[in-house]
């Protein structure tokens, strides 16, 4: 009996080491157990939405349920996902269905990761809406919004046709970099000069 306990303890330790590198945007299988009503249940993919600062040290992680049944797609918290992130079929993450789970005992096989910058921005907006954080109206400029660390921001700024501006000069909290997924920085609007300036260099907006 003691031998079996040692084996179980070693297996748990190995899983703890394996899931220590869980990152925001990762997709894993997770057993959500038996639930009632409209709450998602059973073994299914989930999206990691907990900040990497906590992921590095916390034994638990916050995840959002993913379903292959697409309903109410107009909801701000229902974000459609394609198979390019490792899912077997087009699905939808339900950001209003958040759950705290134990990394070692409840997370299962790794599925994939969200890497598309536009999709990351869409998920972040949905999360803010879900927990009541004010969401700024989408800009009408033809560009993208990314959270960038200083190194990745410099890479974008080094391209002559890029214009890189802080989205919110008063933003205090840094977020995980959407490009490298390692560093932390602020939200920036990135767009091309020919979308922002008229011929001859005169500002057209």
For 26, the enclosing helix (H) or strand (E) is: strand 26-31
2-46 residue pLDDT tens: 555 554 555 555 555 555 689 999 999 998 877 776 678 678 999
Structure tokens at 88: 């077997």
Structural domains in the chain? 2-126 (2.30.30.110), 143-196 (no CATH)
CA distance 40 to 115: 25
Instruction: Answer for the pair 117, 144: CB distance below 8 angstroms, yes or no.
Output: yes
177-187 residue pLDDT tens: 999 989 999 99
124-137 residue pLDDT tens: 999 999 989 887 66
What's the pLDDT at 122?
Answer: 92
Burial of 36 (0-12, 13-18, 19+ CB in 10 A): exposed
- Residue 199's pLDDT band (boundaries 50, 70, 90)? very low
The 8-class DSSP code of residue 59 comes to S
């Amino acid at each position: 009996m003691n031998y079996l306990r040692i084996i179980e303890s070693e297996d748990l330790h190995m899983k703890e080491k394996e899931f220590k590198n869980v990152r925001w945007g990762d997709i894993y299988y997770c057993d959500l157990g038996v639930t009632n009503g409209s709450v998602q249940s059973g073994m299914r993919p989930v999206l990691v939405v907990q900040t990497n600062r906590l992921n590095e040290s916390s034994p638990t992680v916050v995840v959002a349920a993913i379903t292959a049944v697409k309903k109410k797609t107009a909801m701000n918290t229902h974000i459609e996902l394609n198979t390019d992130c490792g899912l077997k079929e087009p699905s939808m993450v339900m950001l209003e269905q958040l759950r705290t789970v134990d990394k070692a005992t409840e997370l299962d096989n790794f599925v994939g990761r969200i890497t598309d910058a536009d999709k990351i921005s869409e998920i972040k907006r949905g999360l803010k809406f879900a927990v009541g954080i004010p969401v700024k109206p989408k800009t009408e400029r033809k560009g993208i919004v990314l959270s960038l660390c200083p190194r990745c921001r410099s890479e974008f700024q080094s391209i002559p046709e890029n214009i890189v501006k802080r989205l919110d000069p008063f933003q205090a909290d840094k977020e995980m970099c959407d490009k490298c997924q390692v560093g932390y920085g602020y939200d920036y609007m990135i767009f091309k000069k020919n979308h922002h300036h008229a011929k001859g260099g005169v500002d057209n907006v």
